[in-house]
């Protein structure tokens, strides 16, 4: 059963308060390495980095609405490169889904005694072109404050999020040891710190870092708002896919293939995918791909399994320079595949459908 705690926000500054919480968590648990999104020194950008010096936590900002890459592959590789070390990682919901899928696909269960995953609520991130304008305006702090206010209000105010964020399956972490709750929360007053169970709560010493227990209303209100956002975005996804099917006849194979007419086969979309590991490069004829003896059917099976594990992060479309609407195309396919398999991407309790 979850243990729900309140982290009181000081001076209406949720980012600074969270940084202090993370520093105390590090001090109590003696982490060797922390993987987290860090602001640049000029406060104009954010990138996921490995932290080995606790003082660098003062640059952590997991609320900033900027996502340059999906950190799942980086996190998975970090665990492989540092076996046995005590590691903590902060991941967005789509990053956590991809990370869990990677661990399943590689058959690498987490060592919960040495690895701590912190998931953070996320209502969305902005397109890269907006991020570029943000650099010029030096407004990352203002963007972060705005995104936290919007999360508190249930994401009701219009935002120009990336398409993948507009149609996100679930804006809250699933399977994290600790969830940092901001959706439906008065973030100028407090954040929710949710331990997966009592064992994790005790082992990590959360009673010291966040001693106040959350009320039933605070917990249930967040869950209600998270569900409402998910329902709203499911409706947006359905509407956008229907528009694509109707206006552009996406429902027949020829029209579907026509979307890829401008594709240059550069492979950047696949390189940006945290789950893709060259499974069907020879089928697609990508440059630099070695010929394999795998039958075309085997390649198609690999593709369907890749679609089933799609975390919906939208990094493929963000990296595309040919304006292919990959988010909606892949979303429509992956939801169909998962529906047939009765599979939920990123659910740590579910086995991959094709494994025994």
Name the domain count of the chain.
2
Sign, CA torsion 306/84/118/72: negative
* In a domain? residue 245: no
User: Is residue 309 over pLDDT 90?
Assistant: yes
Task: Say yes or no: 68 and 116 in one domain.
Answer: yes
Task: Say yes or no: 59 and 139 in one domain.
Answer: yes
Taking residues 222-245, report their average pLDDT. 90
Taking residues 183-212, report their average pLDDT. 96
What pLDDT band is residue 204 in, cutting at 50, 70 and 90?
very high
Task: Say yes or no: 225 and 264 in one domain.
Answer: no
314: left (phi over 0), alpha (psi -120 to 50) or beta: left
* In a domain? residue 300: yes
* In a domain? residue 306: yes
Task: State how far Cα 238 lies from the chain centre.
Answer: 21
Report DSSP letters for 224-257, one per residue: HHHHHHHHHHHHHHHHHHHHHHHHH-TTSHHHHH
Last residue of a domain, one of 232, 265, 294: 232
* In a domain? residue 116: yes
User: Is residue 158 over pLDDT 70?
Assistant: no
Sign, CA torsion 174/51/202/18: negative
Task: Say yes or no: 166 and 98 in one domain.
Answer: yes
Task: Say yes or no: 261 and 314 in one domain.
Answer: yes
The predicted pLDDT at position 257 comes to 73
The predicted pLDDT at position 295 comes to 73
In whole numbers, what is the pLDDT of the chain averaged over residues?
89
Task: Say yes or no: 170 and 286 in one domain.
Answer: no
* In a domain? residue 163: yes
Taking residues 243-269, report their average pLDDT. 73
Strands lying side by side in the sheet with 33-39: 46-51, 33-39, 87-91, 115-120, 178-181, 190-195, 3-8, 212-213
pTM for the whole structure:
0.93
Q: How many Å is the maximal CA-CA distance in the chain? A: 62
* In a domain? residue 243: no
- Tokens 């060259």, residue located: 278
Would you tell me how many other CB atoms lie within 10 Å of the CB of residue 72?
29
* In a domain? residue 352: no
Residue of 175, 161, 172, 173 whose CA lies nearest to 327: 161
User: Is residue 322 over pLDDT 80?
Assistant: yes
Last residue of a domain, one of 232, 261, 277: 232
Which of the two residues, 208 and 140, has the higher pLDDT score? 208
* In a domain? residue 227: yes
User: Is residue 256 over pLDDT 90?
Assistant: no
Task: Say yes or no: 320 and 178 in one domain.
Answer: no
Which of the two residues, 288 and 91, has the higher pLDDT score? 91
Rounded CA separation 160/79 (Å): 34
Lowest mean pLDDT, pick from 14-28, 204-218, 261-275: 261-275
Task: Say yes or no: 210 and 320 in one domain.
Answer: no
The predicted pLDDT at position 287 comes to 59
What pLDDT band is residue 247 in, cutting at 50, 70 and 90?
low
Taking residues 113-130, report their average pLDDT. 92
Rounded CA separation 183/154 (Å): 6
Contacts of 318 (CB under 8 A, 6+ apart): 127, 128, 162, 272
Task: Say yes or no: 213 and 257 in one domain.
Answer: no
Rounded CA separation 243/166 (Å): 15
Sign, CA torsion 221/222/223/225: positive
Task: Say yes or no: 119 and 265 in one domain.
Answer: no
Task: Say yes or no: 128 and 266 in one domain.
Answer: no
User: Is residue 253 over pLDDT 70?
Assistant: no
Taking residues 2-26, report their average pLDDT. 97
Q: Identify the domain containing residue 294 by its residue range.
A: 251-341
Task: Say yes or no: 47 and 190 in one domain.
Answer: yes
Last residue of a domain, one of 232, 266, 294: 232
Contacts of 227 (CB under 8 A, 6+ apart): none
Cα atoms found within 13 Å of the Cα of residue 32, Cβ hemisphere only: 11
Sign, CA torsion 274/275/279/285: negative
């Amino acid at each position: 059963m979850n243990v729900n705690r309140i982290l009181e926000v000081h001076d209406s500054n949720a980012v600074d308060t969270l940084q202090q919480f993370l520093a105390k968590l590090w001090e109590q648990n003696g982490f060797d390495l922390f993987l987290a999104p860090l602001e640049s020194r000029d406060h104009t950008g954010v990138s996921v980095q490995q932290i080995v010096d606790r003082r660098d936590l003062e640059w952590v900002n997991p609320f900033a609405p900027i996502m340059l890459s999906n950190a799942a592959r980086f996190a998975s590789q970090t665990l492989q490169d540092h076996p046995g070390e005590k590691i903590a990682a902060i991941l967005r919901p789509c990053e956590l889904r991809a990370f869990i899928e990677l661990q399943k696909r590689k058959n690498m269960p987490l060592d919960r005694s040495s690895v701590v995953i912190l998931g953070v609520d996320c209502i969305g991130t902005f397109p890269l072109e907006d991020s570029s304008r943000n650099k010029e305006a030096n407004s990352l702090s203002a963007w972060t404050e705005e995104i936290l206010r919007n999360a508190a209000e249930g994401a009701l105010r219009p935002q120009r999020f990336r398409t993948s964020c507009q149609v996100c399956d679930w804006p809250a972490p699933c399977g994290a040891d600790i969830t940092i709750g901001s959706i439906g929360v008065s973030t100028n007053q407090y954040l929710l710190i949710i331990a997966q169970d009592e064992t994790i709560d005790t082992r990590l010493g959360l009673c010291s870092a966040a001693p106040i227990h959350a009320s039933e209303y605070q917990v249930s209100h967040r869950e209600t708002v998270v569900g409402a956002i998910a329902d709203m975005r499911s409706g947006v996804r359905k509407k956008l896919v229907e528009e694509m099917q109707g206006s552009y006849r996406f429902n027949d194979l020829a029209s579907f293939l026509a979307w890829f007419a401008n594709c240059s086969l550069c492979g950047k979309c696949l390189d940006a995918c945290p789950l893709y590991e060259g499974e069907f490069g020879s089928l697609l004829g990508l440059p630099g791909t070695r010929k394999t003896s795998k039958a075309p059917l085997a390649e198609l099976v690999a593709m369907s399994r890749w679609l089933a594990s799609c975390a919906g992060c939208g990094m493929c479309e963000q990296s595309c320079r040919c304006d292919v609407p990959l988010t909606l195309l892949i979303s429509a396919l992956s939801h169909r595949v998962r529906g047939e398999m009765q599979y939920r991407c990123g659910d740590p309790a579910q086995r991959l459908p094709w494994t025994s």
